[in-house]
């Protein structure tokens, strides 16, 4: 990127960003600074679903039992439509401004284990955010109209300050008359891999495509965010989905991509390839042609909705309840991407309204995944064992639906 372009980006950042950080990011308001012990607390975010009512942040020492409520408890956030990410033992809450700038609020735990705000500033509404090294990478992706420049911002996770960025033309990236719309971003080694879907972006069939049976991953170096390569395949469809991560890196450094294969044109599913898992070996920038895990076949015709990495090759999959359709009752399954085996989760709720999808946490032994499951009968935190696929019901959450689960040390 030319220096003049970089200066233009920073000028734009200054124009829309207003900082009000605390003088010491390790000294949150409301208590003695954390000294970094091994004690932990879980953060459970809850929304009431009511118009204009913000999400609540609840904290607890144990999510495997008991109950917790929003009534007279927790921190109420400013504004609804919040999204979350953690890095450097900080909890970031991003307000989706629906086209307008939104707040980026940072929280940390005090030495007493109290959740407190450490900074708050206005930034562009973004569709992609990911932890990369000691930073948060956020990306604003235009979906239609004349705008075709995706803006990437690097936020220092310790200071909560924007420290750099880049801009990329997503029509030029697509090279097919449509536009590349990043579904998510994942750090793989020292680079950032960004799967994208090709969309018409015409304002009529905006997320429709004429290219339903192709897979793309844009590879960027970091921190410069210069495009190095686009990895391509045609054995399945795009990885992930809008606001849904579809690429993970395992403990061995290999990357696995998850495709629902539900690309549409004029609201009709046109994908002809199966919902599947593909692999990029460590140190390469090509799809491994010897690896193809056909999830649709193994599941009896169901398709992937979202994926969450448990560890040791085990992945929790939320599946579409109606085979081949982007709707229906959700079902949970565990896939082993090493052995290419698939099993349905047992002992879970019969009917699932929603889960915490992107906002789950693996246990420290990487054997299980902790997630929130909302049902017609109530909302609970469950632990799913990666080896057995057995779900164990834990804490009940009252006063709203669970939207995310995170964990911080203090």
CB 206 within 8 A of CB 268: no
Average pLDDT over residues 80-97: 88
User: What tokens were used for 383?
Assistant: 């632990």
Q: What is the pLDDT of residue 102?
A: 72
CB 314 within 8 A of CB 334: yes
The alpha-helical segments, DSSP class H, found in 136-279 are: 170-174
User: What tokens were used for 197?
Assistant: 């879907």
Largest CA distance in the chain: 58
User: What tokens were used for 147?
Assistant: 């705008």
Pairing of strands 191-199, 361-362: unpaired
User: What tokens were used for 395?
Assistant: 């804490």
Which span out of 3-17, 120-134, 362-376 was modeled with the highest average pLDDT? 362-376
Residue scoring higher pLDDT (24 or 126): 126
Percent of the chain with pLDDT over 70: 86
Q: How far is CA 365 from CA 310, 312, 368, 369, 371, in A?
A: 10, 10, 8, 10, 16
Query: Which residues, 6+ apart, have CB-to-CB distance to 289 below 8 Å?
Result: none
Q: How confident is the model over 239-251, as pLDDT tens digits?
A: 999 989 999 999 9
Residue 15 C-beta-side C-alpha neighbours within 13 Å: 7
Pairing of strands 276-280, 255-259: antiparallel
Report the distance separating Cα 218 and Cα 239, nearest Å.
12
Least Cα distance to 308 among 396, 218, 184 occurs for: 184
Q: What is the pLDDT of residue 53?
A: 60
Q: What is the mean pLDDT of the chain?
A: 88
Query: Which residues, 6+ apart, have CB-to-CB distance to 380 below 8 Å?
Result: 349, 372, 373, 393, 394, 395, 396, 397
Q: What is the pLDDT of residue 26?
A: 37
DSSP 53: P
Q: What is the pLDDT of residue 15?
A: 32
54 falls in which pLDDT band (50, 70, 90)?
A: low
* pLDDT above 70 (res 99): no
408 falls in which pLDDT band (50, 70, 90)?
A: very high
CB 28 within 8 A of CB 107: yes
Average pLDDT over residues 341-366: 93
Q: What is the pLDDT of residue 55?
A: 85
Q: How confident is the model over 38-49, as pLDDT tens digits?
A: 799 999 999 987
* pLDDT above 80 (res 314): yes
Pairing of strands 67-69, 391-398: parallel
Average pLDDT over residues 128-154: 95
Q: What is the pLDDT of residue 24?
A: 33
Domains and CATH numbers, the chain: 3-302+398-409 (2.130.10)
CB atoms under 10 Å from CB of 331, counted, come to 17
336 falls in which pLDDT band (50, 70, 90)?
A: very high
* pLDDT above 90 (res 98): no
Q: What is the pLDDT of residue 124?
A: 81
* pLDDT above 80 (res 175): yes
Q: What is the pLDDT of residue 325?
A: 52
CB 288 within 8 A of CB 276: no
Report the distance separating Cα 60 and Cα 339, nearest Å.
36
Least Cα distance to 93 among 101, 105, 102, 110 occurs for: 105
Burial grade of 289 (CB within 10 A; 0-12, 13-18, 19 or more): exposed
């Amino acid at each position: 990127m030319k220096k003049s372009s970089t200066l233009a980006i920073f000028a734009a950042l200054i124009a829309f960003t207003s900082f009000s950080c605390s003088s010491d990011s390790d000294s949150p308001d409301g208590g003695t600074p954390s000294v970094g012990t091994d004690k932990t607390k879980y953060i459970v975010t809850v929304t009431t679903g009511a118009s204009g009512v913000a999400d609540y942040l609840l904290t607890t020492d144990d999510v495997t039992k008991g109950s917790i409520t929003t009534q007279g408890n927790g921190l109420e956030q400013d504004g609804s439509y919040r999204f979350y990410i953690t890095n450097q033992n900080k909890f970031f809450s991003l307000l989706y401004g629906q086209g307008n700038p939104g707040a980026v609020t940072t929280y940390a735990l005090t030495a007493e284990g109290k959740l407190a705000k450490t900074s708050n500033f206005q930034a562009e509404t973004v569709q992609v955010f990911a932890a990369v090294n000691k930073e948060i990478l956020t990306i604003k992706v235009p979906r239609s109209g004349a705008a075709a420049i995706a803006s990437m911002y690097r936020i220092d996770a310790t200071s909560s300050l924007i420290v750099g960025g880049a801009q990329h033309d997503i029509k030029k990236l697509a090279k097919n008359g449509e536009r590349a719309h990043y579904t998510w971003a994942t750090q793989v080694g020292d680079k950032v891999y960004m799967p994208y879907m090709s969309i018409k972006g015409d304002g009529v069939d905006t997320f429709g495509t004429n290219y339903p049976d192709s897979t793309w991953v844009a590879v960027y170096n970091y921190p410069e965010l210069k495009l190095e390569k686009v990895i391509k395949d045609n054995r399945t469809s795009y990885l992930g989905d809008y606001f849904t991560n579809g690429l993970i890196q395992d403990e061995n450094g290999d990357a696995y991509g998850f495709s629902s294969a539900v690309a549409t044109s004029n609201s009709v599913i046109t994908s002809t390839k199966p919902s599947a898992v593909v692999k990029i070996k460590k140190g390469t920038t090509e799809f491994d042609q010897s690896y193809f895990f056909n999830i649709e076949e193994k599941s009896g015709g169901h398709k992937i909705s979202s994926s969450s990495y448990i560890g040791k090759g085990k992945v929790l999959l939320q599946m579409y309840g109606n085979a081949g359709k982007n709707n229906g009752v959700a079902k949970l399954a565990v896939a082993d991407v090493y052995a290419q085996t698939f099993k349905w989760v047992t002992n879970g709720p019969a009917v699932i309204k929603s889960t915490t999808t992107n906002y789950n946490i693996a246990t420290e032994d990487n054997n299980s995944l902790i997630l929130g499951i909302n049902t017609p009968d109530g909302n609970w935190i469950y632990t799913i064992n990666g080896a057995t696929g057995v779900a164990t019901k834990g804490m009940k959450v009252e006063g709203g639906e669970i939207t995310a689960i995170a964990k911080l040390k203090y």
